[in-house]
Amino acid sequence: MNAREKILGKIRSAQSNAALRTPTESINNHLAQHPRGPMPSAPENLLAQFKERALKLSSDVRGTSDKMEVPKLLAIYLSERKLPNSGVCWPSLAGLPWSAAGLDMQSRPAKNHDLIGVTGAFCAIAETGTLMMLSGADTPATTSLLPETHVSVLDPRRIVATMEDAWDLMRKEFKQPPRAVNFISGPSRTADIEQTVTLGAHGPYRVLLILAPL
């Protein structure tokens, strides 16, 4: 008998008391209906709540009503912080006027030495100020991970209230989760040394969210 049979067998014999076991029908119902647990009350203003929570998690937030202005906003942000002006972006953002703003953005997945990574986002969650990223051929996960600065261009219409809403949106637009769903809430951090929070552990040191209709 292999380990799988032994472990499952032990569990089965310990739960032979059928009264305690959930009928298969109820299990299948639970999976089909995936009911929600207790939820926070819906915010009056999704955008305002998202911004407030994102700032609390040490993300920076900028906004514009014209997506063509995004490169200019990024250029200002980078020069304010004396950061380099070249990096990589997702292919969906390659058409923005980067070079007109003095930026050199290559449309490819990030490599180790790339210092700026510009991504979109699948959606964002107001409850915690979080980005939801789905991996895929045109949405490489490394772009939000390897560079020291992560910039995400986000359509404010893609802000939902809770993670439950985000799952529903994913179910609506895709049949199943992609290889990696990453929820990102601010720059990477560690508090391992003396429980003192330090921004910039193994991932980005800073996260800039640019809200613009896409």
Partner 1 sequence: MQNTSLQFKKQVTIKLADVKLQDALSRLQSRFVEGRSAVISEIHDLQETRTAAAAIRDRVLNDLEHWLLHFEQQATARGAIVHWAETGDDVNRIIAEIAAQHGVKTAAKSKSMVSEECGLNDALEQAGVSVMETDLGEYILQLAHEAPSHIVAPVVHKNKEEISDLFAEKHQLPRKTGIAELCREAREILRPAFLNADMGISGANFLVAETGSVLIVTNEGNGRLVTTLPRVHVAITGIEKVVPTLEDVTTLLRLLPRSATGQSITNYVSVLTGNKNKEDHDGPEHFHIILLDNGRSSLIGGEMQEMLRCIRCGACMNHCPVYQNIGGHAYGWVYPGPMGSILTPLLSGLEKSPDLPNASTLCGACAVVCPVKIPLPDLLRKLREKQMQLGMKSRQETFMLKAWAWLALRPNLYALATKIGVRMMRAMGGKEKLLHTLPGARGWTDGRDFPAPSGMTFRELYKRGAHK
Query: What is the footprint of partner 1 within residues 107-166 (CB under 8 A)?
Result: 109, 112, 128, 130, 135-137, 140-142, 145, 162-164
Indicate whether 71 belongs to the interface with partner 1 (CB under 8 A).
Answer: no
Q: How far is the CB of 140 from partner 1 (least distance, A)?
A: 5
Asked whether 97 and 126 are in contact (CB, 8 A), the reply is no
Task: Please give the Cα distance from 74 to 207 (Å, whole number).
Answer: 12
Asked whether 188 and 201 are in contact (CB, 8 A), the reply is yes
Q: Which stretch binds partner 1 (CB under 8 A): 33-41, 94-102, 116-124, 152-160?
A: 33-41
Indicate whether 169 belongs to the interface with partner 1 (CB under 8 A).
Answer: no
Q: Which stretch binds partner 1 (CB under 8 A): 3-11, 75-83, 96-104, 151-159?
A: 3-11
Candidates 69, 83, 94, 167; binder of partner 1 (CB under 8 A) is: 167
- Copy the structure tokens of residue 28: 């299948």
Q: Give me the residue label for tokens 């772009």.
A: 143
Candidates 12, 76, 173, 213; binder of partner 1 (CB under 8 A) is: 12
Query: Which of 169/214 has CB closer to partner 1?
Result: 169
**Three state DSSP letters for 97-159:** CCHHHCCEEEECCCCCCCCEEEECCCEEECCCCEEEEECECCECHHHHCCCCEEEEEECHHHE
Handedness of CA 46, 65, 79, 203 (dihedral sign): positive
Which amino acid makes up residue 76? Answer: I
Q: Which stretch binds partner 1 (CB under 8 A): 18-26, 66-74, 80-88, 93-101?
A: 18-26
Indicate whether 3 belongs to the interface with partner 1 (CB under 8 A).
Answer: yes
Asked whether 69 and 97 are in contact (CB, 8 A), the reply is no
Number of residues that bind partner 1 (CB under 8 A): 72
Render 60-105 in DSSP notation, one character per residue.
EEEE-S-GGGHHHHHHHHHHHTT--SEEEE-GGGTTS-TGGGT-EE
Footprint (CB under 8 A) of partner 1, residues 171-200: 176-196, 198, 200
Q: How far is the CB of 110 from partner 1 (least distance, A)?
A: 9
Q: How far is the CB of 126 from partner 1 (least distance, A)?
A: 12
Indicate whether 22 belongs to the interface with partner 1 (CB under 8 A).
Answer: yes
Query: Which of 54/70 has CB closer to partner 1?
Result: 54
